A and B are shown apart, each in its own frame.
Chain A
Amino acid sequence: MFKKVYNWIDERLDITPLWRDVADHEVPEHVNPAHHFSAFVYCFGGLTFFITVIQILSGMFLTMYYVPDIIHAYASVDYLQHQIPFGKIVRGMHHFGASLVIVMMFLHTLRVFFTGSYKAPREMNWVVGMLIFFIMLGLGFTGYLLPWDNKAYYATKVGVEIAASVPYIGEYIASFLYGGDIVGAQTLTRFFAIHVFFLPGALIAMLAAHFIMIRRQGISGPL
């Protein structure tokens, strides 16, 4: 059944080369844990991507119930977590996934560093990777405010105060992030927009660049 549908489409659009190009390539021996178990360190990049996909999916589902407003934000999070079946799990995925993605990304960075994979000709990919790292930190920072509880409020206050200590432009950064002078209604909608539209958009673009480059240049050779 599936095969028939696939063949029908393939006859017309010739889609086989498309996915072959993406999926069908050999894993070098030094990267394959079946050959050398220590090669598992090469999995962290893939795991980071896997968790990122879960983050995007669970985030999409969370916005079905969440409202970025100072009066209702906490109530809506409380509702989706405690009243909706599987709310605990979906929010749990997003909550714990956020920490896990940082951990995986950090391990991936360490692997790249210690295998020297950042060296020529892959310097640009290292830079893009670093940009992804900062985008992830930004996602973590903006997402932290959204439940609008005490922890969220003070974490944001402290975070923005740190940003405000930047010489010369600190004040402008702070009022841009606050959307005013205090952590309030404007901060919440701003952080929501950044968390849900701006940073994920940037993240997807950067991930695409990261993957295109690794396909172009291939995985770096064995040590």
Chain B
Amino acid sequence: MSNHEHQDSKHQPVQRKEMSRRQFLSYTLGGTTAFMVGGTVLPMVRFAVDPLLAKGGESTLVKVIEESKVTAEPQEVKFKVRQVDGWYKSETEKVAWISRDASGAIFALSPVCKHLGCTVFWNTHGRNEYDCPCHDARYSRDGKNITVANLPLDEYVVEIQDGFVYLGGIIANTRA
């Protein structure tokens, strides 16, 4: 047994610190493969994850007026909504009547009459109501339908940031 062991150690190849031929080949081969895979796959991955890296997409909210300028008396504000959705681009001008309620909360109404789509105005007849010039539909300060129309005026989503009022999409009236 001891003899056998002795023989084994005798035949052991000389230990060298250098890289073996096999190792060198597998590194070269692995490196080349990694380079080729990386070269083809990385552009594709970058292509696919673009939405993540696109700088904070313009929020759909639009800054319209300073918070401090909004009073209990409704005011008309006009604003442009620009939407870029891939290859679809659109820009629409919108109008909102913005005011504070009794508790001081800000809300914004869309002045499109729910009857036949004319544009209503605040207080044209001195009744502190929204009046429609076309068929005399009337809406309260909160947009509640009083005559002619069957539904209250729509509202805009309102958000307040750093002293400015931002308006978003149209929602059904929540106040009337």
> Which residues of chain A have a CB within 8 Å of any CB of chain B?
54, 57-58, 61, 64-65, 72, 75-76, 78-80, 84-87, 89-90, 93
Contact = CB atoms under 8 A, between A and B. Distances in A.
Contact of B46 (A54, A72, A75, A86): A86
B58 to A, nearest CB: 15
B86 A79 contact: yes
B14 interface: no
A78 B47 contact: no
A75 B48 CA distance: 18
Contacts of A65: 86
B45 to A, nearest CB: 8
Given A54-B40, A93-B40, A86 B87 contact: no
Contacts of A64: 47-48
Interface of B: 40-41, 43-44, 46-48, 50, 53, 86-87
By DSSP majority rule, is chain A's interface helix, strand, loop, or mixed?
helix
Contacts, number: 39
A61 B87 CA distance: 17
A159 B44 CA distance: 31
A86 B86 contact: no
Nearest to A61: B44
A74 to B, nearest CB: 9
A19 to B, nearest CB: 15
Given A65-B86, A90-B43, 18 more contacts: A54-B40, A57-B40, A57-B41, A57-B44, A58-B40, A61-B44, A61-B48, A64-B48, A72-B87, A75-B87, A78-B87, A79-B87, A80-B47, A85-B46, A85-B53, A86-B47, A89-B43, A90-B47
A145 B158 CA distance: 46
Nearest to B84: A83
B44 A90 contact: yes
A61 B40 CA distance: 12
B87 A85 contact: no
Nearest to A72: B87
A78 B89 CA distance: 14
A84 B87 CA distance: 11
A78 B44 CA distance: 17
A85 B47 contact: yes
A84 B51 CA distance: 9
A65 B41 CA distance: 17
Contacts of A80: 47
A58 B44 contact: yes
Contacts of A58: 40, 44
Nearest to A88: B43
A76 B86 CA distance: 8
A64 B51 CA distance: 11
Contacts of A54: 40
Contacts of B87: 72, 75-76, 78-79
A189 B8 CA distance: 72
Contacts of B40: 54, 57-58, 93
A76 B88 CA distance: 9
A54 B38 CA distance: 12
The 6 closest A-B pairs by CB, nearest first: A79-B87, A75-B87, A86-B43, A89-B43, A61-B44, A86-B47
B139 to A, nearest CB: 39
Contacts of B86: 65, 76, 79
29 contacts: A54-B40, A57-B40, A57-B41, A57-B44, A58-B40, A58-B44, A61-B44, A61-B47, A61-B48, A65-B86, A72-B87, A75-B87, A76-B86, A78-B87, A79-B86, A79-B87, A84-B47, A85-B46, A85-B47, A85-B50, A85-B53, A86-B47, A87-B47, A89-B43, A89-B47, A90-B44, A93-B40, A93-B43, A93-B44
